[in-house]
Amino acid sequence: MGAFRRTWLIAFLFIRLSTELVPVVSAHTRKLDNSSSLFSVYPTPCFPGTFIFGDSLVDNGNAMAVYPDRFARLEQDPFGVSWPGHGADRFCDGKLIGDYLSWGTGGFPMSAYLRSVQTLLFLGVNLAASGSTVLPGLTLNPIFQDDEVFPHTPFTLDQQLQWYKHFMFRDSELSKGRSMQNVIPVGSFNSSLHLIIAGYTDYILQFLSGWPEALVLASVTGIVNGISDTAEMLHTTHKVKDIVVVNLPPLGCTPAFLTIFPGDPDDYDDYGCLTSFNAAIELHNEELFRAVLTLRAKYPDLSLSYGNFYRTFQDILKHPSKFGFHSTPKLLKACCGAGGKYNFEPNVTCGASVFANGKLHNGTACKEPTKHLFWDGFHPSGAVNRIAAISFLNGTALYPSDGLRPPNCKPDFSQF
C-alpha cells in the first residue's frame, strides 16, 4: 500500500509541476526550439494540436518521468539510434507512429505530459505511458523479471483521460488574464487530433501471466469497451471532433512471444507467426472496428477514424522485399537483443547488460534497424511506424480514408 501511494504521489507532483511551470518558459527558449528541424511548425497545420493516449507503442517519456530507474535504459544507446539526439525515451530505434502522424498533419512530436516542465505544449501533449493498460489491476506473473521482460506501470487509459482533464483545467486557469504562448489554447482542444492506441499491454500481461486463451478472449469486449468509452467521453464531455482509434499489432509475430511460447509446426502460420496469439489480437481488432462504426452512427458530427496498424505488418510479412525488409525468418528477429533464434533473451533485453555464467551478456542493436519488423521483443521498428503512418495519412489503412485530411489539409511527408 505504501509503494502504491508513493507512486501516485510522484505522479501528482509531476502533474502539478508540469502544468504550473510551463508558462514561465522564456520566449527565447521557444524561439530556439522553433528554429530546429525537430520543432518546425508548418504555416497551416491540419489540426491546431495533437493529443496522444496509449502505451509503449506511443509513449515518449511519461513512464520514464515517474519510474526513471525502471526505464533508465531508454535514455541510452541503442534506443533512438536511428534518430540521434531526439529518439530517447521511446521503445524504438527512432520515431513512433505518433511522431510521424504529428509531422504529417503539420505539427511536430508532442511533449510527454509528465516531462513537460522544460518543454513546450502549444501544439498538444502526449499522455501515453509505457506499460499502461485499459483494464485496471492487471499484473505480470512473478516468474518473469518484469523490469526486464516487459516493464509496466499502474497507469490506465482512464488515468490518462484524467490527466487530460487536469491539463485542460490548468490550461484554462493559467491563461486567464495573460497571454499564453507556450500552451495550446483551450479553445483549440476540441478541434485538435486525438490519437488512441491502447490494449497492447493488456494482452501481453495476460498471456505472460499464463491466462488460458478462453479467458483472454473473454476480456476482449471489456478492453474494447474501455477504448470506445474513452473516445465517446472525449466527444460528449469535451466536444472533441477528430479522433483516430488504432488497432493492435500481431502479438504472435513478436520475437518475445515466438521465444517464450515455442510451438509445434501446426501452431505457426505461413509467415512463421503463432496463430493462437494473433487470433486474440484479430478478435480485438474486429470488435474495435465495430465499436468505431457504432460510435460513428451514434454521433454523425464526430470524425472518428479507424487506423489499421495490423495491416502494415501483414503487408510487410507478405512482401518484405517490396518495403526494403529482410525476408523470413530473419524478418522476425528483433533488431536489438542478446541472441537466440529470434534475438530475444528474456533476462537480457535490449540495452541491458547481465553478467551470468562467468560472461557478460549485452542486448545490442543490429546494423540495419530499418530492415527489421521489430526493434526489440515487443515493439515495431521505426521503419514499420513510418510505413503505418504513411498508410494512415494517404488513407490506404484508415477508415474512412480521409479521416486525417480535414478540409484544406494536405499530408506533409517532408519529415519522413
Radius of gyration of the chain (CA): 20
* Cross-strand bridge partners of residue 305: 244
Q: Domain 2-334+379-399: what homologous superfamily?
A: SGNH hydrolase (3.40.50.1110)
pLDDT score for 352: 86
| Helix 275-298 / helix 200-208 crossing angle, nearest 10 deg | 150
Which residue from 212, 390, 414 is spatially nearest to 316, judged by alpha carbons?
A: 390
Contact (Cβ atoms closer than 8 angstroms) between residue 147 and residue 214: no
Give the Cα separation of 179 and 174 in Å (integer). Answer: 9
Looking at residue 345, its amino acid is E
Give the Cα separation of 84 and 232 in Å (integer). Answer: 38
H/E/C letters for each residue in the chain? Answer: CHHHHHHHHHHHHHHHHHHHHHHHCCHHHHHHHHHCCCCCCCCCCCCCCEEEEECCCCCCCHHHHHCCCCCHHHHCCCCCCCCCCCCCCCCCCCCCHHHHHHHHCCCCCCCEHHHHHHCCECCEEECCCCCCECCCCCCCCCCCCHHHHCCCCCCEHHHHHHHHHHHHHHHHHHCCCCCCCCECCHHHCCCCEEEEECCHHHHHHHHHCCCCHHHHHHHHHHHHHHHHHHHHHHHHHHCCCEEEEECCCCHHHCHHHHHHCCCCHHHECCCCCEHHHHHHHHHHHHHHHHHHHHHHHHCCCCEEEEECHHHHHHHHHHCCHHHCCCCCCHHHCCCCECCCCCCCCCCCCCCCEEEECCEEEECECCCCHHHCCECCCCCECHHHHHHHHHHHHCCCCEECCCCCCCCCCCCCCCCC
pTM for this one?
Answer: 0.88
Q: Where are the domains of the chain?
A: 2-334+379-399
Provide the CB-side half-sphere exposure for 258 (13 A, CA): 27
Contact (Cβ atoms closer than 8 angstroms) between residue 223 and residue 283: no
Neighbouring C-beta atoms of residue 320, cutoff 10 Å: 18
Which residue from 131, 151, 146, 92 is spatially nearest to 373, judged by alpha carbons?
A: 92
Which residue from 126, 88, 119, 109 is spatially nearest to 37, judged by alpha carbons?
A: 109
pLDDT score for 1: 45
State pLDDT tens for residues 135-148.
998 987 766 655 56
pLDDT score for 371: 98
Using the structure block, give the residue that is written with the C-alpha cell 480521409: 402
pLDDT score for 414: 83
Give the Cα separation of 383 and 373 in Å (integer). Answer: 8
pLDDT score for 51: 96
Residues of the chain with confidence (pLDDT) below 70: 1-44, 116-121, 142-148, 172-182
